[in-house]
Structure 1
Amino acid sequence: MTDQNPQGNPEPTEPENDAAGSGETPFQFTDKRKVDPTSGEARPGEPAGTSDDPLAALDFEPEGEAAESAEVLAAKAQAAEHLDALQRERASFTNYRNRSLRDQEAARTQGTQDVLAALLPVLDDIERAKQHAELSGPMAAIAEKLDASLAKFGIERFGQVGEEFDPTVHEALMHNVDAEATSATVSLVVEPGYRIGDKVVRAARVGVVGPE
């Protein structure tokens, strides 16, 4: 409703914006912040130890240093496995190499023994010719070259008159008694012995003289 002035014109009235007059609930702002923005301390009533971290109640582990540490541990474990496998492979290769070298040496020695066994009849004939002074001239030179070639392969001829009899390297074909002898010695070499290193390919076949 408006009032009229003497001129008959209505006078405006102030709008009724009062919330109390309109029946509406007035708007109120409540500060529910748990930390005082001025002092930075927890407000009274805040449980001790309550964290203001919004992620504290979330049910997952955030990615970061913990995740990186797990990856580093996994990488170290994998590296240790690879190192162990490499060391095992290296040891296996070393054993294989050593075994191969031994096999090669054994095969080489066996081959030399086979060749020597095939040459024994020829070598015996040459020795008999030497004993009977039937080897001279070019044949004597060939015999010397043959001995030098055999020496290059580690072949050694043994068995000399006067050396002490040793049943491990001598084969006694005959035995004579000598009252003055104090030990058994080689008195005659029928066929010399041959060995390669410590391996006796053939024992020397000899005659022996010794005490009763």
Structure 2
Amino acid sequence: MNRYVVRLYRFSLINRVSFPIFYRKVSTINHLTLYNTCRNFTSAKNDLEVEQSTDPDTFSTETTEVDSVEGLKSKIDELEQKLAAAEEKLSEYKNKLLRSLAECENTRTRYIKEVEKAQHYGITNFAKSILDVADSLELATKSIDINTLEKGTELANVVDGINLTIEVLNSKLNNFGIQRIEALGEIFDPQKHEALFEVQDASKPKGTVSQVLQPGYVIKDRILRAAKVGVVVSTG
């Protein structure tokens, strides 16, 4: 039995012996009630002591601080991982954007070149057909010896009209970047000239174009038609 209960019980016995009159007046008090009261008091005191001993506030502050630091470190590690993943994703998107911009720029450049090419060389086939007309007009003038013609005659007027037509035609061709290749007397260039025959001529250096059978033409920086020529191969 708890010492507090023993003391209360002894105190009750002493009072009973020392103060019989008083004790008789309170004889109606149930001893069992007194005993239970003391017992409940002792139990409550023990529960309070246990509760105080197990109160979380009494745990070591050092343990709490350690847990707090560990939690912060774990949170920081988690945030750093998320940051690294976000930076990697950002770098990936940046590279994709740069590649897309480069592709767009390349496409734009190709488009501009294609448009320029179409503007400059879109009439290539038509120009080649016109060259046949120019060749025919030149052959017509070469077939007539203008030195034997008298001015004012009908044939002379026809020849003058053909020459005027050739001048107008060449002017219009020049407006579209089509120009005649001056080959006579030039050193043979396989890019511009087409050698049809060889010529023995001691008066001219080897490889010189000595005759032009059909003139050549360029359109802008491209060969529209190579000149058909005869080339000096030796000096005799």
Q: Is the 8 A contact 2:137 2:162 kept in 1?
A: no
Deviation at 1:51, TM superposition (A): 0.8
Whether the 8 Å contact between 1:173 and 1:205 is mirrored in structure 2 is yes
Structure 2 unaligned residues grouped into runs of 5+: 1-15, 147-157
1:96 lines up with 2:107 in the alignment: yes
Contact 2:141 / 2:163 at 8 angstroms: preserved in 1? no
* Percent identical residues: 27
Q: 1:121 to 1:51 in 2, by over 3 A?
A: same
Over the aligned positions, Cα root-mean-square deviation in angstroms equals 4.7
TM-score in terms of structure 1 length: 0.61
**Cα distance in 2 for residues equivalent to 1:61 and 1:128:** 99
Give the equivalent residue in structure 1 for 2:160: 136
Distance 2:214 2:98 in 1: 55
Q: How does 1:94-133 map to 2 (within 5 A)?
A: 94-108=105-119, 110-128=121-139
Matching residue of 2:200: 177
- What is aligned with 1:76? 87
CA distance in 1, matches of 2:76, 2:218: 74
The structure having more radius of gyration, on CA atoms, is 2
Return the offset for 1:211.
1.7
SS of 1:96's equivalent in the other structure is helix
Unaligned runs of 5+ in 1: none
Distance 1:56 1:18 in 2: 49
**Partner of residue 148, structure 1:** 171
Counterparts in 2 of 1:178 and 1:32: CA distance versus 1, 3 Å: same
Tell me, in whole angstroms, the C-alpha distance in 2 between the residues paired with 1:182 and 1:69. 81
Q: Which has the higher helix share?
A: 2
- What CA deviation, in whole Å up to 9, does each residue of 1:16-68 have, x standing for no partner? 8977995556224434379998xxxx8xxx6xx95136x949xx999966665
Q: How many residue pairs were aligned?
A: 195
Q: 1:175 & 1:68 partners in 2: Cα distance? A: 85
Distance 2:132 2:224 in 1: 14
